[in-house]
Structure 1
Amino acid sequence: MHWLYINPLLLQVFRSVVWVYSVVTFLPWYFISGAGVNQARAKRVKARSISGLPAGPYRSVNCIDRLVLTLHQGVDTLDKVFEYAASHFPNRDCLGTRELLSEEDEVQPNGKVFKKVILGQYKWLTYEEAFNESRFFGSGLAALGQEPKCNIAIFCETRAEWIVTAQACFMYNFPLVTLYSTLGGPAIAHGLNETEVTHIITSKDLLQSRLKAILLDVPRLRHIIIVDSKPTNWPDMPRGIMVNSMAAVQEIGAKPEHIRSLPLPTDIAVIMYTSGSTGIPKGVMISHSNLIAGITGMAERIPNLEYNDTYIGYLPLAHVLELSAELVCISHGCRIGYSSPQTLADQSTKIKKGSKGDTSMLKPTLMAAVPEIMDRIYKNVMTKVDEMSRLQRSLFILAYNYKMEQISKGYGTPLCDRLVFHKVRSLLGGNTRILLSGGAPLSPATQRFMNICFCCPVGQGYGLTETCGAGTISDMWDYSTGRVGAPLVCSDITLKDWEEGGYHSTDKPNPRGEILIGGPNVTMGYYKNHTKNQDDFFVDEKGQRWFCTGDIGEFHPDGCLKIIDRKKDLVKLQAGEYVSLGKVEAVLKNCPLIDNICAYANSDQSYVIGFVVPNQKQLTTLAVQRGVPGSLEELCNSTDMEFEVLRVITEAAIADKLERFEIPKKIRLSAEPWTPETGLVTDAFKLKRKELKTHYQDDIERMYGGK
């Protein structure tokens, strides 16, 4: 992190004030805040090898004798989770949606038109109301011919109706096929045809923009249910397809109700199509017991989780992280208010200037985020810090460094939080007590920033769709960075030697190897993909199911895991050096000039190259300093700017101690950000390397001297 010069006298005055304040308040604050207890919690051993071998399996010390399968006794299927919540919290708020007051088109200086919205208060369904809506919807689907144990699809944005649909399917034992709302036509058709669905639940917008174009490619489809409240006529549907609104189906289901076919723990609850960072999406079969175990493990890592918590849901519900997080909240009677990345904060792209974003209205206490979103917040705030006066900037830096020192000792900093960080904290509503990060590695700089400026712990998690998102989550008292925590109480983790990459469980100082996750959260495998199942899943001699992740990790002495590489990201250069592309990207994404980067290497070449989405503001500033004129697109196509950005990247890489052969020698700047809509990243913003390679093929040939 680059900070400007700080006046030594100001620094000394601040340190003196802080020293006096710390001495006066130390004893009372030490006992009131429980700093000693927090330090002990942070330093304690959190998992250990149950075999005594350095490879593991490693297991949480909270379940050393056996893994934990369920949250509540006898609640072993997902329909029972909702029944439990509805009976214990019937009149509490469950699912909340903001009222749309108005929307208008706003013309930007560059001529583009953005749609802006003004949103009202949150309108809530209670747990009892949400339960009844789900029950009637499931009954209505049965009336429309949906059979138990026959697949049904949902292709919809994250919203209350998504969860109502999911709960209806859990109750009536309809395996739910989930598809990302950003998938392209061929991928949607592949998922629907492979799972042979006859009924699909979608929204009006997605039916018009995506689904309609491929209906003729899905011959089995008979029923489309639209979740939007306003009834809509669709006269130009292909013959044989009926369209109903969700409300109409619920009305059918309410009189008379169809008899439920209750699921067993071993029945499929969800067939979740991954967003597919490589190739076509794969459908992961997840049983009721798999998801129950996964949410049990997640819930154990969230201290004091209870019905007074409020969660903001905006990540794709077709992603295992968001679905698991919302099921954890439902199992504890929390409120879930819905949002989207475009309306999340007051400054979000669809929020009309002067009106409130969703976090300001909802004031959530719990939130999940992918690193891409946290990186964006971090860079935006740091850009604003750079624009402050010298005095303001110096005070912010001093407070930042002081708090970093204090939290590492287990102490809080209420004075700094109130005087310095309250404005940053208010970006997420001001009440956030826990942030959960998942989906991709979170950089240490961003994690530290979120800890300090948002005044709450960041639990970095690690897991996959194939393990119900569950694997590890860092302890909320552990403020170390770059680690993903100890195994959850539902998981065992072992390390498998990888000879080619040079990773072994006998490595010093820490055992290293491919991460294998075992336990009741490990899913049933890929739908209709026997070969891939044999490659990635196995059952050991004790009957425990395992998944081979392809990620490389190391275990620290306290039982916490660190992700250090990925098998698929490792490329051998011409001279024999191995380069971890993921490692290069993780280091360089900390550079303020870079919004996103994809490192690339051909094994018949001697150097790494990169595709870079620059930060527009930083790039423009650099161009002004170097006297290079032009629009963003012209700057990105400028060889002079490529050279300047490469110089900055090289300096950042050297400062972060990348090896010479790991530093990109040539780059291509991209004016267009990579979003799931472009097809270059997944919905969790993971890079799609195959698609990026195709997209930049001409540039690859140019940078490697082919053109």
Structure 2
Amino acid sequence: MRFKQEVSPVLELMFRVLVGLYSLVSYLPYLLMRSSDSESLSECSRRVKARSVSAHPEGPYRDMSALKTLSMCMQPEVNTLDRVFEASVRRYPEHDCLGTRELLSEEDERQEDGRVFKKVILGEYRWMSYDQVYREAREFGSGLTALGQKPLTNVTIFCETRAEWIIAALACFINNFPLVTLYSTLGGPAIVHGLNEAEVSHIITSKELLKTKLKDILLEVPRLCHIIVVDDKLDGGSVYARGISVHSMSAVQRVGAQPENASRQVQPPCASDIAVIMYTSGSTGIPKGVMISHSNIIAGITGMSERIPNLGKGDAYIGYLPLAHVLELSAELVCLAHGCRIGYSSAQTLADQSTKIKKGSKGDCSILQPSLMAAVPEIMDRIYKNVMLKVEQMSVFQRTLFLLAYNYKMEQLAMGYNTPLCDRFVFRKVRALLGGRLRVLLSGGAPLSAATQRFMNICFCCPVGQGYGLTETCGAGTISQLWDYSTGRVGAPLVCCEIQLKDWTEGGYRSTDKPCPRGEILIGGPNVTMGYYKNKEKNCEDFFVGKKGQRWFCTGDIGEFHGDGCLKIIDRKKDLVKLQAGEYVSLGKVEAILKNCPLIDNICAYANSNESYVIGFVVPNQKQLLALAERRRVKGLWEELCNSPIIEEEVLKVITEVALTAQLERFEIPCKICLSTDAWTPETGLVTDAFKLKRKELKTHYQHDIERMYGAK
């Protein structure tokens, strides 16, 4: 993406002269300080990162340094997650480990439309040291044992992301309790399914989730005996339906600290024991439990760590994504293995402008100033659009300066150079939105658009490590090298795995394709998990063991390998629909392109094989849609605007223009759309916690509109 706008020739000349003088002055010291054997960013980007280890273009593809690096990183004696954390406790006993902001006050704030939002004022982060976290985890584990929890017997965490989640997880790892994770946004039937399938008797949750989600389904979970609530303000010993006991986490820890319980012999796990049964968010139906061993996770986090240079106790990570998601859990375990600080947050308190932060007070990023952060593309897309809206509202001089600096930095990055002058004077305020110290931003969960990735590189002055992985591979597969500023790719295979392409002739993808081999992505290695819990049929379908005894997972995603060994995700088997005339449409590709349209906050493309055209459901950007309505002199409330045929037609014109500019084929462009009055959030059940579309639920939700747009066929 390059901004095009008429600018004053005089202002552009002044800008060019200023940065030219700075470059001239700084270039000589740069040459003198640069060692003769060091590579520039452009030289690193051109380097071959991975290659096929066979003579065939389908692979398998492996990182150039895979065998050497993995053997250096993995220590035979540190082969379970409890030992990984114990090693960190020995190295950093007094160092800050987990931090939570103090709640100073909260109040209701009435909006102009009459709605009431709860706003909070938060204080500084309060920290627990590595030694304190370890002590609390041991006490909690001993307390669970005193309540009847047995080794190799499942225990569930159903809770929002917070320090207590990790403490409870560490307690399970230490005592060899397989940890069952459930998203806090799951609906009642999905929760019941997970708890009953895993046969849990103990569940760890929050006061809020107990009240809003668990209380109503307790009679449907006959094996459940104990509920442990992580909140402090709860009296232990409460009794619910069927005699289920409710305890506070602190009360369980006090029981575990008693001498007779603290001195009990712990049965440590083996590397092959199940560490986590992670239930997916169910984008294609009922959630599936993925069995992940200790050795699987250690291989995965070893591969991830290798792509993040200089990890250590000087780093601070902000944790706000669901810990029941493999991306967040893996990222936090990477941090705990390297002595980093983890400060907890939420999507509602992340930045100064977040929905729950009272105007004039500070969001979590401003206080923590993280150096490491993970994000899903949906969140980065929102940041990108919000900043661009503010740029449009700047004065002509400010906007021109921003666009000149943006395009100049893009040119410099392409040549492998940094732009410290622009970073300091132009992008400093944008960078401050996420604390100002960010040095690594890890993107996962879905492909990140090239426009958003370039924006994050430029405006937040830090590399974006775009990654690709699945729950079934411990979140590990690929991560782009931090010095690789190319866009639209997910990098080379991590050192813990290798990737092979499998021909998919129905979709027209083959490893013999030119110029790049293409096919379904298969991931093999020690990070590939043990399979689905109590689901042999699906295990046989998605997992297999290769000729050399290595375990492989069939992802269902379509990729292509570039000449330097980097992977690009280009399609998904389940997203490919054949239209009536025989053309194949990749719904994911259409959505990825159209989400760059400022009018669109989210979109789901839909096609029926019995029809000749694509339709779409759109969550419009409120500010952009209201501005469009004002230009077209259409008046009405928000719901009336979204249901207005005139506005619908105008939005479709904008979408079509964006699609044609991006060179979509005519048959790929939605011919009709439906505007949604409400955003799609995990709470609505229309997207997962990683904001992936739930196509089945979306189809059901918009069935009436589908019939309307297809002429009631």
TM-score, with normalisation over the residues of structure 1?
0.98
Take 2:268 and 2:611, find their aligned partners in 1: how far apart are those partners?
58
1:18 corresponds to which letter in structure 2?
V
Asked if 1:533 corresponds to 2:539, the answer is yes
**Is the alpha carbon distance of 1:39 and 1:689 closer, same or farther for their aligned partners in structure 2, counting shifts above 3 Å?**
same
**Is the alpha carbon distance of 1:660 and 1:33 closer, same or farther for their aligned partners in structure 2, counting shifts above 3 Å?**
farther
Cα pair 1:69 1:292 within 8 Å, conserved? no
> How big is the alpha-carbon RMSD for the aligned residues of Structure 1 and Structure 2?
1.4
2:101 is matched with 98
Give ranges in structure 1 of 5+ residues lacking alignment. Answer: none
Cα pair 2:236 2:251 within 8 Å, conserved? no
1:513 is matched with 519
1:443 is matched with 449
Cα pair 1:68 1:489 within 8 Å, conserved? no
Of 278, 281, 286, which aligns to 1:275?
281
Residue 85 of structure 1: CA displacement?
0.7
Of 393, 396, 401, which aligns to 1:390?
396
The one-character-per-residue Cα deviations of 1:611-644 (angstroms, maximum 9, x if unpaired) are 0001000001111111111122111010000000
Cα pair 2:239 2:246 within 8 Å, conserved? no
TM-score, with normalisation over the residues of structure 2?
0.97
Residue 70 of structure 1: CA displacement?
5.3
Of 205, 213, 225, which aligns to 2:216?
213
Residue 107 of structure 1: CA displacement?
1.1
1:229 is matched with 232
1:335 corresponds to which letter in structure 2?
R
Cα pair 1:30 1:36 within 8 Å, conserved? no
Take 2:22 and 2:69, find their aligned partners in 1: how far apart are those partners?
47
Cα pair 1:70 1:293 within 8 Å, conserved? no
Take 2:22 and 2:67, find their aligned partners in 1: how far apart are those partners?
43
**Is the alpha carbon distance of 1:683 and 1:32 closer, same or farther for their aligned partners in structure 2, counting shifts above 3 Å?**
farther
2:461 is matched with 455
The one-character-per-residue Cα deviations of 1:578-608 (angstroms, maximum 9, x if unpaired) are 0000000000000111000000000000000
The one-character-per-residue Cα deviations of 1:293-317 (angstroms, maximum 9, x if unpaired) are 0000000000111111000000000
Equivalent residue runs for 1:223-262 within 5 Å: 223-232=226-235, 237-255=240-258, 256=260, 257=262, 258-262=264-268
The one-character-per-residue Cα deviations of 1:137-194 (angstroms, maximum 9, x if unpaired) are 0111011000000000000000000000000000000000000000000000000000
Equivalent residue runs for 1:415-434 within 5 Å: 415-434=421-440
Cα pair 1:367 1:434 within 8 Å, conserved? yes
Take 2:33 and 2:699, find their aligned partners in 1: how far apart are those partners?
56
SS in 2 for 1:99: strand
Of 532, 550, 563, which aligns to 2:569?
563
Of 639, 655, 663, which aligns to 2:645?
639
Give ranges in structure 2 of 5+ residues lacking alignment. Answer: none
SS in 1 for 2:433: helix
Take 2:490 and 2:31, find their aligned partners in 1: how far apart are those partners?
28
2:65 is matched with 62
Take 1:387 and 1:364, find their aligned partners in 2: how far apart are those partners?
28
Residue 234 of structure 1: CA displacement?
7.6
Of 337, 355, 370, which aligns to 1:331?
337
Residue 236 of structure 1: CA displacement?
6.3
SS in 1 for 2:608: coil
Asked if 1:496 corresponds to 2:502, the answer is yes
SS in 1 for 2:529: coil
Take 1:70 and 1:600, find their aligned partners in 2: how far apart are those partners?
45
The one-character-per-residue Cα deviations of 1:19-69 (angstroms, maximum 9, x if unpaired) are 333233323235547784332222111101111211000000112579559
**Is the alpha carbon distance of 1:395 and 1:697 closer, same or farther for their aligned partners in structure 2, counting shifts above 3 Å?**
same
Deviating above 6 A after TM superposition, structure 1's stretches of 4 or more consecutive aligned residues are none
Take 1:234 and 1:705, find their aligned partners in 2: how far apart are those partners?
60
Of 695, 700, 713, which aligns to 1:694?
700
Aligned length in residues: 707
Residue 235 of structure 1: CA displacement?
5.3
Cα pair 1:104 1:115 within 8 Å, conserved? yes
Equivalent residue runs for 1:542-561 within 5 Å: 542-561=548-567
Take 2:498 and 2:236, find their aligned partners in 1: how far apart are those partners?
52
SS in 2 for 1:262: coil
SS in 2 for 1:239: helix
Q: Which moved more, 1:72-81 or 1:645-654?
A: 72-81
**Is the alpha carbon distance of 1:31 and 1:329 closer, same or farther for their aligned partners in structure 2, counting shifts above 3 Å?**
farther
Asked if 1:286 corresponds to 2:292, the answer is yes
Equivalent residue runs for 1:578-617 within 5 Å: 578-617=584-623
1:411 corresponds to which letter in structure 2?
Y
Asked if 1:29 corresponds to 2:30, the answer is yes
Residue 16 of structure 1: CA displacement?
3.1
The one-character-per-residue Cα deviations of 1:654-707 (angstroms, maximum 9, x if unpaired) are 000000100000000011000000000000000000000000000000000017
Cα pair 1:450 1:456 within 8 Å, conserved? yes
Q: Which moved more, 1:15-24 or 1:512-521?
A: 15-24
Of 184, 189, 196, which aligns to 1:193?
196
Q: Which moved more, 1:66-75 or 1:188-197?
A: 66-75
**Is the alpha carbon distance of 1:237 and 1:456 closer, same or farther for their aligned partners in structure 2, counting shifts above 3 Å?**
same
SS in 2 for 1:182: coil
Take 2:465 and 2:199, find their aligned partners in 1: how far apart are those partners?
39
Cα pair 2:236 2:248 within 8 Å, conserved? no
**Is the alpha carbon distance of 1:159 and 1:356 closer, same or farther for their aligned partners in structure 2, counting shifts above 3 Å?**
same
1:26 corresponds to which letter in structure 2?
Y
Equivalent residue runs for 1:47-196 within 5 Å: 47-64=50-67, 68=71, 71-196=74-199
